[in-house]
Amino acid sequence: MWGTCAWLLARTSVPSIDTSGLDSRTYFSQHSLDRAASYTRGTELLWFLSTAATLAALVVLARLLPARVRSIGLGRIGSAVIVGMVLIVGLWFVALPFSLADLWWQHHWGLGPFDILAWLSGQWALLGPSAISALATIVLLVGLAGRFRRWWLVATPIVVVIAALFALASGWLLAASSHPLRNQQLAADARRMEQLEHVTGTPVRVQEVSSWTNQANAYTAGFGPSAHVILWDTLLDDRFTRGEKVAVIAHELGHVRSRHIVKGIGWTALVVLPTLWILALATRRRGGVGDPANLPYVILVLSVVGLLTTPAQNVVSRRYEAEADWRSLNATRDPASTRKLFQTFERTSLESPSPSTWDYLFLETHPTLAQRIAMVEQWQKRNGP
């Protein structure tokens, strides 16, 4: 049953095509490839150090906090709230130096200003809701584990509902921090793409990020009535042609049409139960998840499980991104602009067309630029210019 559901969720509309074997040097200069490789090595190192520091901090907290937690005397839920807040704030501060180092690294390579205040302001919109969601989940797990022996069976549907509500609300929350497209021509293009993608009425909005980055990006938030496409304002400058911008909009609307966020909730439903069961086994000898003193260890176990399953998560993500690329090509029927878009991404984000294997496994949520260009070539062979 689990395997059948996973197979259904992993299915996409992309036909069986070969996206391997493309020589990056055909589309990118050697100088560009060398710059992208140098930049990527730095980001890989920062990710590794940040991950190692987070795990080390959790190990230390798992050793030091339990004795202090048991002396708080605020009861199970009260103690869970206090420990949860300590963990959320503490881990944020542990990751902060690496986040700032990454911001400087982007600045060093000309990808944005080193404006810490502007960057913090941009992160705040995501930090608050994420912290509230994490704290609510912590309190829920502690409360249920203290009440039910097989608490993971009770917690699974509740966690899935929370994930769905958070995904639904995120569309409206992120839309509130953005503004409508002001370019009337591009707005008309967006409406045309909505019709072609059969998602008429999906708002396309713009988020101001140019105060802290020059990199271009776009994403889809929410689902159903809250579905929105959010474009970074850096995508709308003269580095990108009209055709490239339309290709990005069509890609994001492709996510909406394919219901990828809803499918993501489906994956949550599949993985939460085994994850919580593993968590229950790992913490049983320490007194279980119901003891707030074990929360640092709980987060450590979840972090390790998350790290080990990241390659599988990225496989699914890359399949969905490839489907959005394919839908974009079918909607725009403009392979030249789509190909040029991926070449432009290498210049504007220094994205490596062919990253290392471990980078591909752990960090790449999208197909590589080489794979995406190979898809364009395959589409063009099937459909003509």
Phi, psi of 204 (to 5 degrees): -115, 115
Write down the pTM of the prediction. 0.93
Residues in the chain, total: 385
Rounded CA gap, 331 and 340, in Å? 17
Cα 199–Cα 201–Cα 204 angle in degrees, nearest 5: 95
Rounded CA gap, 379 and 369, in Å? 15
Radius of gyration over every alpha carbon of the chain, rounded to an integer in angstroms: 22
With a cut of 50, list the residues of the chain below it in pLDDT: none
Domain segments of the chain as ranges: 42-299
What is the per-residue pLDDT for 70? 66
Per-residue pLDDT tens for 93-104? 999 999 999 999
Rounded CA gap, 354 and 329, in Å? 22
What is the per-residue pLDDT for 359? 94
CB neighbour class for 336 (10 Å; exposed up to 12, middle 13-18, buried from 19): middle
Which structure tokens are listed for 260?
Answer: 């990828």
* CA 71, chain centre distance (Å): 38
What is the per-residue pLDDT for 125? 65
Per-residue pLDDT tens for 267-276? 999 999 999 9
What is the per-residue pLDDT for 126? 65
Rounded CA gap, 10 and 308, in Å? 19
Per-residue pLDDT tens for 33-68? 999 999 999 999 999 999 999 999 999 999 888 877
